[in-house]
A and B are shown apart, each in its own frame.
Chain A
Amino acid sequence: MADVLAQTSGMAAARPRSGMRRFAQRRSTIALLMALPLIVLIATLVIYPALYSIHLATLNRSLEHFVGLANFKFLFNRETFWMVVKQSCIFAITAVVFKALIGFCVAHFVHNVPAKGQRKWRGMLLIPWVIPPAMSTLGWFWLFDPSYSAFNWIFERIGIPSVTWLGDPYWARFSVILVNIWYGAPFFLIMYLAALKSVPEQLYEAAAIDGASWWQKIWYITLPMMRNIISITILFSLIVTFANFDIVRILTSGGPIDQTHIFATWAFKLGIEGGDISLGACVSLFMFPILAFAAVFILRDINQRGNEA
């Protein structure tokens, strides 16, 4: 009796289930079709070129013969290459550290002022991020002009010797980093401000009752609560800054004597302007390690979020 009952109910359930399966199949086919343009785009214009550049890096200059790792060996023996590695690291790390610090401080200042005025301040402070970097860098280029530098004009008035902003290797490095900080800090500011708003006010009130100083509030409440956003913003910015092109290209084109080249500008110079595509591909591949490193962290973060949700 019980068997029969189970059987009939099983049969009853079976029919809708097979219908459901067909339904699901149709549903997933439609879903796949909808995602297809995305898959095709990414496969042909992102994944394929990325893999192709590994292949290109193993060819000789005329792209006819396979030369294995000879290009890499050639690079490792060049002094300029190591200079570019060093400069890329200095450029990216210094800029990201300062962007993060400035963003963090300014976000606090904005958060401190009455809510009514916050919009206005935020609006003004985000402008460097909104102007296309190629165009604002031209403005900086003019501010750094060797004979008409408006900064030097001020320096002269207050008795500081004028600076050769883009002519001297050290000042040129300083200048490209300064412009990058100027352009990128507002992004951190916006991210941190959004994060600050999401920290519950009660935590600070509880801390105030316990007699915490402002420093303790930042160290024990703000930083732990914002840890996720801080780390993901820094990772993001590290990738973007490492791969930066516009600022260095416009300000110095890598000069004086290649001292300010970073991977992207040097790869452009070798690959597009110099016509040595394999060597250019080789140089740009050195951005891969930082990418892989970031990908691991971000994947972990996404998985964690998936588990929480």
Chain B
Amino acid sequence: MAAVAETGSPRAAVKAGSMRNDRRRALVWSYVFLFLFVIFFLTPPIYMFITSLKSSAEVGAVTNPWWVYHPTLENYISLLTSPQYLTFFRNSAVVSLVVVVITMIISTLAAFSLARMKFWGSTTLATGVFLTYLIPETLLFIPLFKIFAFVHDTFGISLINHWWVLIIIYPTLTVPFATWIMIGYFASIPKELDEAALIDGAGYFQMLTKIFIPVALPGIIAAMIFAFTVSWADFLYPMAFTTSADQMVLPAGIVTTLIKGDVFNWGQIMGASLLGALPPLLIYAFLMDYYIAGLTAGATKG
């Protein structure tokens, strides 16, 4: 651009210069607004962090709430030594990891079958899978509650107030979208690859494990991240189906047990929330591209 301006006529140089000024002005304004939006988007987590470093006395004192005068780690220490909080964390971790495994097994098999093998009604099923993703959990929790009560009455299996029941119902949140992501990735694998595998005498299962899963690995990682973050963050199902503190997962546990009585220990609540948000944040920090691929897969595919 600069070279053109130098060699061109003076008139052109002026024009190019004004265009460059325009562009620079646009850039400056972009930075200004980006900065403002970053402040808006990051204020709550930063304020949570500030509060989590304060003792209860400092939280209650009339000082500048945006500054820590006597930083302390006592909130984090007491959280990490509290058996209750560690139980929440363990429940959350077990539930999320098992749900990821279940989701991946169900959705990889289904996506392979729907994207490649086809059977009567498979196209309808693929669309149906996507539509079930749109049925919100807020529509399902009341009938599920009643169904669980019914199961208890007839089979004597108590499903209410057990953390493992979340393992059964979370896949309804994760499987449809994970399948949808995987169908997209599987469908983009060239047909020649599976023909070559068939000629070499591979069975369908080998085709899936030796070709599809390795080739579509980015999609699988994206789907796993999606499944993990959804089951880590869900709030409604644990609120509806677990009641006693030792059966709770993090989001419900923090909200119901730490907020009690008139005196809220805000430093501890904020620390607990931040620690609870740490696993998804870490995954996001290290696997940002996969995370975003999973987010945008539904809309930009095709």
Distance in Å: Cβ of A36 to nearest Cβ of chain B: 8
Are B143 and A32 in touch, CB under 8 angstroms?
A: no
Chain B residues lying within 8 Å of A294, measured Cβ to Cβ, are 134
Known: A29-B119, A136-B48, A272-B141. 5 other contacts (CB 8 A): A49-B144, A121-B34, A124-B42, A134-B235, A295-B131
Tell me, yes or no, whether B164 is within 8 Å of chain A by CB. no
**A102 vs B41: C-alpha distance in the bound complex, in angstroms?**
11
Residue ranges of A at the interface with B (Cβ–Cβ < 8 Å): 27-32, 34-35, 37-39, 41-42, 45-50, 52-53, 56, 63, 102, 105-106, 108-110, 112-113, 119, 121-128, 130-136, 138-140, 142-143, 145, 148, 150, 153-154, 182, 185-187, 190-191, 194-195, 198, 214, 229, 232-233, 236, 239-240, 242-246, 249-250, 263-264, 267-268, 271-272, 277, 280-281, 284-285, 287-288, 291, 294-295, 298-299, 302, 305, 308-309
**A280 vs B140: C-alpha distance in the bound complex, in angstroms?**
11
Tell me, yes or no, whether B135 is within 8 Å of chain A by CB. yes
Are B299 and A268 in touch, CB under 8 angstroms?
A: no
Are B145 and A288 in touch, CB under 8 angstroms?
A: no
Chain B residues lying within 8 Å of A233, measured Cβ to Cβ, are 299
Task: Knowing A45-B144, A53-B143 are in contact, say whether A109-B33 is a contact too (CB < 8 A).
Answer: yes
> Which of B5-13, B79-87, B280-288 forms part of the interface with chain A?
B280-288
Q: List 16 A-B contacts (CB under 8 A).
A: A28-B120, A45-B171, A50-B135, A53-B140, A106-B34, A123-B285, A125-B41, A134-B254, A136-B45, A136-B48, A139-B45, A148-B65, A195-B300, A245-B235, A246-B235, A299-B127
Find the A residue at minimum CB distance from B61: A148
B268-297 interface (Cβ within 8 A of A): 269-270, 273-274, 276-277, 280-281, 284-285, 288, 291-292, 295-296
**A308 vs B301: C-alpha distance in the bound complex, in angstroms?**
12
User: Which bracket fits the contact residues of B?
Assistant: 35 or more
Residue ranges of B at the interface with A (Cβ–Cβ < 8 Å): 26-27, 30-31, 33-34, 37-38, 40-45, 47-48, 51, 59-60, 64-66, 105-107, 109-110, 112-114, 117-120, 122, 125, 127-132, 134-147, 168-169, 171-172, 175-176, 179, 204, 229, 232-233, 235-236, 239-240, 250-252, 254-255, 266, 269-270, 273-274, 276-277, 280-281, 284-285, 288, 291-292, 295-296, 298-300, 302
